[in-house]
Amino acid sequence: MRKLVLIALWVLVPVLTAQAQDATPTTEPGVVMITSPVDGQQLFGLVEMVGTAIHPSLFDGYILEWSNIQNPEVWLPIQQRVNQQVNNGILGQWDTVSASVPDGIYQIRLRLFLADGTVQDFQVNNLVLINSAPTVVPTPLPAVPTATVQSLPTSGPSPTPLIQQPPTVTPRPTFENPVDLDQNNTSSTPEEEESVVNFSAVEGAFCLGVYFSMAFFMLIVAYLVLRKQISPFTRRLWWQIRSEFDNDQDY
């Protein structure tokens, strides 16, 4: 009997051990990824990192880190550890200017920590950081040939020649005939006199026509005004004369 019990235990112990191992719960993986920036993207200034860091039950925080491609084993924190889950949102910001990060090729990593001690990573590689503006090299201008000025030989002082002036004759004053002066001053061409006379005649005729037109217009206006004012009296007078004439004929 004792042997049968030992044989049964020897058979059942491995089976129970296998069932216990199968019943041990496995850790459910979380969601950890960076959607922006992507591999090979150019970065500058303040870099905003977007992605997801969540776990349904074992979330214990996440952290963002960066590393230079020349020393990929050394990771430096971008910010402090975050204890709040992010689902397709802003994970953090990398201020490359304030941190004085030199230009180069870098990689960033998102690490998700779980309560059971598990760590899940997501990495973005070959990020090109360019903060310094390119140096503008001025285009050299073509050389302009300069003309050489040759100096002329200077001669010594030349003697000033003496010029003998001939004797000048003092002119005597001449007196003009006053009659000739008056004739010269009063003389004018017939064309000038004709033009002056013609202009005066045209101006006078124009002014006279304007005066006649104004007088005629004023007479017409006065006639119309008087006619309107005396028309009732003339009609009344005419009817009286006609009535008296008719009465005389009746007698």
Domain ranges of the chain: 31-129
Band of pLDDT at residue 1, cut at 50, 70 and 90: low
What is the tens place of the pLDDT at every residue in 138-153? 666 666 666 565 655 5
Given a cut of 80, is residue 165 above it in pLDDT? no
Cβ within 8 Å of residue 42, ≥6 positions away: 127, 128, 129, 130
**Strand residues in the chain grouped as ranges (E):** 31-36, 42-43, 46-54, 59-68, 76-77, 86-95, 104-114, 119-129
* CA quadruple 17, 18, 23, 26: dihedral sign: positive
Give how far the C-alpha of residue 24 lies from the chain's centroid of Cα atoms, to the nearest Å.
69
Sign, CA torsion 239/242/246/248: positive
pTM recorded for the entire structure? 0.46
Pairing outcome for strands 104-114 and 86-95: unpaired
The 10s digit of each residue's pLDDT in 3-36 is: 665 566 666 655 555 554 554 455 678 899 999 9
Fold for 31-129, please state it: Immunoglobulin-like (2.60.40)
What single-letter DSSP state applies at residue 251? Answer: -
Helix or strand holding residue 7 (H, E): helix 2-23
Q: How confident is the model at residue 195 (pLDDT cuts 50, 70, 90)?
A: low
